[in-house]
Structure 1
């Protein structure tokens, strides 16, 4: 259901990539905690199903925005639509993102350019647009979904790993800039998570994923939400993921890259 106003008693969270995976679970948690929602995804059918479920279960207002974030015009269109509807965003969750798998000289350029737009440019653009009002209001929360991939180079997923490294660095930097403003920035860096991500990227048979126990999206989302509410800057779900992220600082980069390559291979 689309709306042109908000219930004053509730805050509003905007979540991109909200129709499935970690985005869906984050949306569910926000709804359970009495937030109205703005859900953004390119899958109109799933988005409608999700919004109807949340409205019935939690008696909240949900506004759907069907948008392909690979289009450069998408962030401005989303921002303008919410301004026209007089909807204030109190929590921005930049969750949307995707990857591609293979040798860089063999992968599809257009796919990678779209990945850069979604994972990096759109996230930056939306943050810029909504952050200004949050600072004026003296409060707000931003959750950027990065990855454990952010802490090292990633052969066979070179562009994806690089985009996630950007998200981590960008989020840490602006979190520092925003100290004392009432606005906090949290970056969530999950490891491999149960979702359709690995099938879509073609790496379901890689050593990193095959026959490995992975954290479920619901658990990852809850850890991210809790960290956001506490105002933490960087959160890495899972002890092993934390250990690996910290240990790469003490290992030569060339060796780290070789290790990651062996983990990414499917043989």
Structure 2
């Protein structure tokens, strides 16, 4: 794509420490070595497969030098680990893929990690969550550089929704932690019965324990109350139906166990950051 004056908005080059760098099962040919980072205006650091593996020689130093001279640096997904290793996220707000959030906090406690958003713009340094959030971040940078019209054209070419705000949730309901066998059976029961009208007392009876004991076990093993867990399961089931069915939002809310459309919308927005309808429209736009 081109700007109104016929020029290209960016000149994109792929840099690395070798002629071909690994990206999961794929190999990506590089145009230039790390020396190209010395005069790049924007540097985008991709995700990495093993965030505990040593970073290739020269990468950290090149990023530190680029940051010191004022280059804009962005990371996609677990690429935030590379930026954190370079020290350029210290004291800053950042995000990464939610699956890697706990490890990130352990490794880099000086970074203010927010794992509940799509991307974070700290000015010179930007970070995104999972792969699709990386596209959102890139479109955000295009908007900042060249305006909404150019970003809209880029989104059209990429078959992507133009605007998903960085503060929007990652659409992930985190209720799949590993638990002990006893509670694991209870969680499986909730998974298959979440559509029913269930009270805390009903859950305690099913678990053959007291309400107090059930609350204590849930908090110890999941960090949530039983009813919070149940709500998360229902919202996750609703997400699946919103993505793949044409049923009405009201019907889906009832089907997954919410007593009223208002409660469904409230709980869905609380856990995902968007309304059920906005969530559905986003996924329809992606599949169009």
TM-score by length of 2: 0.29
Q: Which has the higher contact order (CA 8 A, sep 6+)?
A: 1
| Higher radius of gyration, 1 or 2 | 2
Larger strand fraction of residues:
1
